[in-house]
Structure 1
Amino acid sequence: MAQSDENLANLDLNGLRAEIDDIDQALQSLIIRRTKVVQAVGAYKDQVIAAGGKVKVPYRPAREARIMRTLVDRHNGAFPKTALIQIWREMIAAGTRLEAPYTVALCRNADGVDCWELARLNFGCLNEIVEFDTPREAFYALEEGRAAVGVFPKPELGEAQPWWTLLSDDSPVRIVSKLPFGGRPVGRGEQTEGFVLAAIELEESGDDRTLFIVSLPNEISMDTARKKIVSGIEGVDVLGVTIDEATNNRDFLVDVPGFLTAHASTVRERLNTNGLNAAVIRMIGSYATPIPAEELH
């Protein structure tokens, strides 16, 4: 029987261990119950599909972000918040797998950096991770349905043939999440960051950022363009720059605060105000803003 916090000091070692055993059994019972509810969700979706309706795919990063933020906000005590998030990550990944098993595509950047640890932490210990030699191969695996999600290394300024240029209006694949979201792995991969790509509907989490490719005439120097982009939109960040050989324009990967997936015109207006007339502005994804490190301590 569960003891009050005040009574714990009156228990001997055997009594404390018995208390832990009782709590463990209660936790497992709740996990079993939670799994039955997840299965009921899957059965309900099957009924909707059978009736000709549409349902959202099991992987919903915006909903996961809301869950993780709630966990952190209501947590107290000595148990680490990062470990708490990881427990839920495993439960969510296992539950999603019950609805539909899926494969995670992984690739390396030009420096050989991958996001294996981030992928495993975010998508659990059961889902298959398949490594591809190039970002292009991993991207095609997403387009062709051979992988449900892909984890790509964070872009670097000046890298040749960056993966984000593969995202086009003709492709359903979008950037849908940024990793790590709630705590970093310790040791190998500790400094790694990445983005999750998937062919799913973009959803608002309540605190989001949106990614655009902004194409500018090559006559404008890179430094001038970057300064005007950053000063033209508050809170913006430029994550990548490359030359589009087909148009000879310079493409910038621009990270803008807010859920602006339907507001490319707003971004264009802000850039125009700052003297930048973009040839093309293309939305390529959005993601829930990761939980700040200071909130996890």
Structure 2
Amino acid sequence: MRREIDEIDDAIHDLLMRRAQVVEQIGIAKRPDNQIFRPGREAIILRRLAARHTGAFPIAVVVRIWREMIAAFSRLQGPYAITVYAPEDKRGFWDIARDHYGSVIPMTAVNTPAAAIRTVADGTATVGVVPMPEEDDHEPWWRHLMNEDVKTPRIVARLPFCGRGNARGENHDALAVALIQHEGTGDDRTLLGVELSEDVSRGRLKDALEAAGLTVVNFRSWTGREAGGGPPLHLVEVADYVASTDPRLSAFKSKVGDIVLRATPIGGYAMPLGLNPDVKKV
């Protein structure tokens, strides 16, 4: 049996080296685009493995192994670095970022979500890891993504993808931002930035969104009063993939009227394995 294990180990190692060769060929073939990672494609790979998995070996470990592989192979194609919101009292974000992006990818901690976003925008980092939006956040990071400039980072993933592991601190998830577009995977959430010219109840917005065919999962709002004024801003999570050209956005705007200054997808994420798919109460 030990000889058989040695043979299996050799076979696994051979396949890893073969995979590296194929990845290097892919890296050459897709230049000059040079998009070295695709979170949607990664999610599809992990879902496929989870669907075919059998036996006693934990699926969470399979995902962890493949996350390490994906990160290492991505780095073969070009520069790859992570910036993580991880102040002294929030080290759990560092742990889930390390688990997701692997132990060989360079990571840097910053003390604010805005700093993580800036490093992505200026090209210092490939990915920025920021906390899930909170209702009581007086300086929400997501408002900085509410424009259509191609140099503005977009939300592309939710962490962790399969269980929290041994991350330190409170049980908080995170979002990843990058200078790429969110890709649909067949089971997604999209985050819409909605700017209004006057106050409107969440109930009215929810009714208009759902009448347009967009199922609302969650709301986060910011009035700007803490910053000396400004129009009401809402971050609306919907249970689907929504592109900027989706006709449902136009239908939503027409139902609410001219008070909608913009309704812009600022990214989204593939639903993680095991995440409760039920729509939350707004």
TM-score range, shorter chain: 0.7 to 0.9
From 215, 218, 237, give the equivalent of 1:235. Answer: 215
1:44 aligns with 2:24: no
Aligned residue identity for 2:43: A
Preserved contact between residue 209 and residue 286 of structure 1 (Cα < 8 Å): yes
Task: Call closer, same or farther: CA 1:206–1:227 in 2, change over 3 Å.
Answer: closer
Q: What's the offset of the Cα at 1:248?
A: 3.0
| Candidates 125, 144, 163, aligned match of 1:166 | 144
Task: Output the amino acid matched with 1:26.
Answer: A
Q: Return the index of the structure with the highest Cα Rg.
A: 1
Q: How does 1:172-183 map to 2 (within 5 A)?
A: 172-183=152-163
Tell me whether 1:134 sits opposite 2:112 in the alignment: yes
Partner of 1:202, secondary structure, is coil
> Offset of 1:166 from its aligned partner?
0.9
Matches within 5 A, 1:19-168: 19-45=4-30, 49=31, 54-108=32-86, 112=90, 115-167=93-145, 168=147
Q: 2:273 corresponds to which residue?
A: 291
Aligned to 2:180: 200
Note if contact 2:208-2:255 (Cα within 8 Å) is conserved in structure 1.
no
- Work out whether 1:213 is the aligned partner of 2:193: yes
Question: Are the equivalent residues in 1 in contact too, given 2:91–2:168 (CA < 8 A)?
Answer: no
Unaligned 5+ residue runs, structure 1? 1-15
Q: CA deviation at 1:217?
A: 4.6
Amino acid at match of 2:163: G
C-alpha distance in 2, partners of 1:153/1:101? 24
Distance 1:109 1:243 in 2: 26
Q: In 2 relative to 1, CA 113–87 (structure 1 residues): closer, same or farther, beyond 3 Å?
A: closer
Structure 2: tracts of 5 or more residues without a match: 278-282
Partner Cα distance (1:229, 1:36) in 2: 51
Q: What letter matches 1:152 in structure 2?
A: V
Aligned residue pair count: 272
Quick one: distance in 2 between partners of 1:264 and 1:219? 25
Q: CA RMSD in A?
A: 2.8
Shift of 1:267: 3.2
Alignment correspondent of 2:280: none
State the shift of 1:97 in Å. Answer: 0.7
1:107 maps to a residue whose letter is: Y
Residue 189 of structure 1, CA deviation? 4.9
Q: Name which of structure 1's ranges 89-98 and 178-187 shifts more when overlaid on structure 2.
A: 178-187
Check whether the contact 1:160–1:242 (CA below 8 A) recurs between aligned residues.
yes
Q: Is the 8 A contact 2:39 2:157 kept in 1?
A: yes
C-alpha distance in 1 between matches for 2:262 and 2:229:
11
Secondary structure of the structure 2 residue equivalent to 1:249: coil
Q: Which runs of 4+ in 1 moved over 4 A?
A: 108-114, 223-234, 271-277
Cα–Cα, structure 1 residues 294 and 286, in superposed 2: closer, same or farther, change >3 Å?
A: closer
| Aligned-residue offset at 1:224 | 4.3
Taking structure 2 as the reference length, what is the TM-score of the superposition? 0.85
Residue 246 of structure 1: how far off its partner (Å): 7.3
1:28 Cα deviation after fit: 1.0
SS in 2 for 1:67: helix
2: CA distance, partners of 1:183 / 1:261: 28
Q: Secondary structure at the match of 1:248?
A: coil
